[in-house]
Amino acid sequence: MRILVIHHVRNHENSGIYTDDDYNQVSNSVYGAQEMDTWAGIRLLSKNHQVWRLEISVNHRTFKIVDSQGIVTESGIFNLVSPRFTKSYLRRFFSYFDPAIIQFSDIVLRNTVSKVVSESNIDLIWSETQFYAPLLDKSVPRVIRSVNFEPAHVMAEDSGFLKFLKFFLKILGERKAARKVSLVTISPRDRGWYKEIGLNTITTLPLRQLSYLVNHVKSTTPVSNFFVVMGSTFEVRHNRRNLDYCLETLAPALFEIDPSINILIFGTRLPSNIRVPVNVQVVGFSQTYREYLLKSLGVVVPYHGGAGMQSKVFEPLTLGVPLVANSKSIAGYPFLKEIHYLHAKSTQEYVTQMVKLKNNSLLRQSLSRNSSELSRVLFSEEVLEKETSQILKASVVGLE
């Protein structure tokens, strides 16, 4: 099958990594969980199919077409369609209702997709987000892999009265984007949300980079005295809230109970005006992040909203690193409290669970073993390859 994958990149300098299977090298080259997930998904598709790619860089307003041999065949610039009171924009608005989707209805991108589909005999288009819905040529089967249920994301990230209007428009946008396409979600929780607004999904396809981690499970050798907090980028509102919570509330409470336990914070774009408690080390970005993870007592994921991709939850679970998190962060996957991870909601519960993990090596080993075993069942390469194959077959049958 000839597949055109439409996906986001921060810039185009890393085009070559999509033919590379070196997880460590790729993780230090791309930006964020979404680009990692896309890379792993393209590697899965490329096993049995020819894959073309349309890279879209919103940062630079540029695009590239890369053929199945990794050769750039076309590149150019495009315009994001901005809201305005014109007949043209209003027509687009009533097609999708969501400005985040409408912005990608640029004629240059649409013509580029149609040209590639026609000239390269593309059999199917796979979009890595619902935002690209206006670009999906209707002459071939289409798959949208949603990485967020956008209405929930708005309620978690936005503030003020207008978020309720945006919530309503996002629901309409999701329904419009999913017309006559095969919709795939990232989690059972999201699949349930889509069902509530009347949309059927084919299946759930987890974070695909997890398949590279199932064979790198944490050993049971002695560990250090620190927990890890991963914030990805702290420009994202819920990551910043979690950072403030760790620095201002969690760390001081933990210090009162057990001053020997430290917290290491990883992530990019850290604010410059933060005050760091004595039991916290702000590491920032580190190419050896996974090494810290495997040596740690565990990972702490504070929950203050957010509907992101949750790689900070499922990477430690897959690696067998003990996890302390709110059950909402598990996103509907069958990981159980006290068996695969430790649940916490209040500050007192987080501190109690962290101290418990530090003092109980048997508990750490049990959580590690249970979470890594279940992750292998859910996230192995064989499982994700089978799911991907079923998605493609269902999409072609659906169009017929």
- Ordered DSSP codes for 234-297: TTSHHHHHHHHHIIIIIHHHHHHH-TT-EEEEEEES--TT----TTEEEEES-TTHHHHHHHSS
Query: How high is the pLDDT of residue 25?
Result: 85
Which range of residues forms the domain containing residue 300?
215-379
Domain check: are 369 and 389 in the same one?
Answer: no
Q: What is the pTM of this model?
A: 0.92
Q: In this structure, what CATH number is given to the domain that contains residue 285?
A: 3.40.50.2000
Dist. CA 141–CA 125, nearest whole Å: 6
Domain count, the chain: 2
Q: 198 and 229, same structural domain?
A: no
With CA atoms as reference, report the closest residue to 352 among 226, 258, 246: 258
Per-residue pLDDT, 398: 57
Using DSSP, state whether 62 is helix, strand or coil: strand
Structure tokens belonging to residue 140 = 């071939």
Same domain, 394 and 354: no
Token output for 355: 């101290």
Helix/strand/coil percent split, the chain, to 5: 45, 20, 35
For residues 187 and 291, membership in a common domain is answered with no
Q: Tens-digit pLDDT profile for the chain (400 aa)?
A: 999 999 999 889 888 888 888 888 888 788 788 899 999 999 999 999 999 999 999 999 999 999 999 999 999 999 999 988 899 999 999 999 999 999 999 999 999 999 999 999 999 999 999 999 999 999 999 999 998 899 998 888 777 888 999 999 999 999 999 989 999 999 999 999 999 999 988 899 999 999 999 988 877 665 689 999 987 777 777 788 889 999 999 999 999 999 999 999 998 888 888 899 999 999 988 888 888 999 999 999 987 655 566 889 999 999 999 999 999 999 999 999 999 999 999 999 999 999 999 999 999 999 999 999 999 999 999 999 999 999 999 998 754 4
- Nearest CA-CA partner of 324 in 337, 336, 340, 341: 341
Mark whether 177 and 278 lie in a shared domain: no
CB under 8 Å to 207, separation ≥6 — which residues? 33, 36, 37, 40, 186, 309, 310, 311, 314, 379
Is 107 in the same domain as 155?
yes
Residues in a beta bridge with 6: 54, 127
Helices (H), 22-125: 23-27, 32-46, 87-96, 99-102, 107-119
